[in-house]
Homo-oligomer: A and B are copies of this chain.
């Protein structure tokens, strides 16, 4: 089955094979060598001097980590769809106050919106979703970074769940304190683990907070990573697969990788504009997935049934309230431009387009 949904996505056989290796003892020298190498290569791939970590959890686990370690009292939630909204819920469930900056689904979060909210509200962190997977909007992170550069007291926490490694995010220059991603998106690995960066400010803030807990204690992540270890028994299969993928990414070359993602996006957007419409506000279309406005009112479920039975693949219906009104095609990870062309040709045939 070839998944064209925005996570989990289709994985290469050679990546899946890594998942199937015998585990090593997680306190053994052999494993420590592999894990230290993973952290080094991850820093290289993300182009950061910040620390990087691997969590045995979904990306939303790292939402909780970011909140418990980096939000002191109140956070601004930049809400532009179901997932960015949910991160705000996570903050509330962990006893933090939140202020919601909300735009219509499909619209982007602009820098001036954040600046206005920061003038009005006393917050100590911003929860910012770089790539809203439910609407296919990629927010202009440079704008947010520019606003936050003036506010060193406000931590910049970035959910790049479905964009990191598919699009360049200059964590250091943008001043991001936590930048998190799931492995089952642009990293092209099955779900079950997440990665994130952590700045010196993030650690400082964490050290000032008492209720960090155990499993998502950022300072415990640092203490163990320094020894090439993990606080808890990690998902070793995911670390094997990540190790392999990081090598593949470095072999492909990051500029090539980013260019491939842009090309796939171009192909899908062009098709989307020809037959439907792109749901995202112009100029803020995601590079890793396209959310299409269902202007022809097609039956997405029926389309998927045909894709599945004829070609053993599926795309994604709209998320939540957007079900039926939109549908989504992922173009990330190890997919190629040729895969996208093939999918679109199949959709042409099934929908009788052209």
A98 contacts the other chain (Cβ, under 8 Å)?
A: no
Q: A residues 234-277 with Cβ under 8 Å of B? A: 234-238
* Neighbour of A16 across the interface among B22, B89, B233, B314, CB < 8 A: B22
Assess whether B190 is in contact with A236, with CB atoms less than 8 Å apart. Answer: yes
A192 contacts the other chain (Cβ, under 8 Å)?
A: yes
Interface residues on A, range: 35 or more
A19 contacts the other chain (Cβ, under 8 Å)?
A: yes
Q: How far is the CB of A67 from the nearest CB of chain B, in Å? A: 8
Cα distance A60–B95 when bound, in Å?
22
Q: A residues 87-111 with Cβ under 8 Å of B? A: 89-90, 93-95
Cα distance A16–B26 when bound, in Å?
17
- Residues A20 and B16 in contact in the complex (CB < 8 Å), given A214-B89, A238-B192: yes
Assess whether A215 is in contact with B64, with CB atoms less than 8 Å apart. Answer: yes
Assess whether A233 is in contact with B191, with CB atoms less than 8 Å apart. Answer: yes
Which of A7-15, A134-142, A280-288 is the interface stretch?
A7-15
* Neighbour of A19 across the interface among B20, B210, B213, B316, CB < 8 A: B20
Chain B residues with Cβ under 8 A from A11's Cβ?
22-23
- Which residue of chain B has its CB nearest to the CB of A25? B5
Chain B residues with Cβ under 8 A from A63's Cβ?
214
Chain B residues with Cβ under 8 A from A89's Cβ?
214
Assess whether B7 is in contact with A233, with CB atoms less than 8 Å apart. Answer: yes
Cα distance A64–B213 when bound, in Å?
8
Chain B residues with Cβ under 8 A from A94's Cβ?
211, 213-214
A61 contacts the other chain (Cβ, under 8 Å)?
A: yes
Assess whether B3 is in contact with A22, with CB atoms less than 8 Å apart. Answer: yes
- Which residue of chain B has its CB nearest to the CB of A31? B8
Cα distance A235–B233 when bound, in Å?
15
- Residues A191 and B24 in contact in the complex (CB < 8 Å), given A64-B213, A214-B90: no
Cα distance A93–B216 when bound, in Å?
11
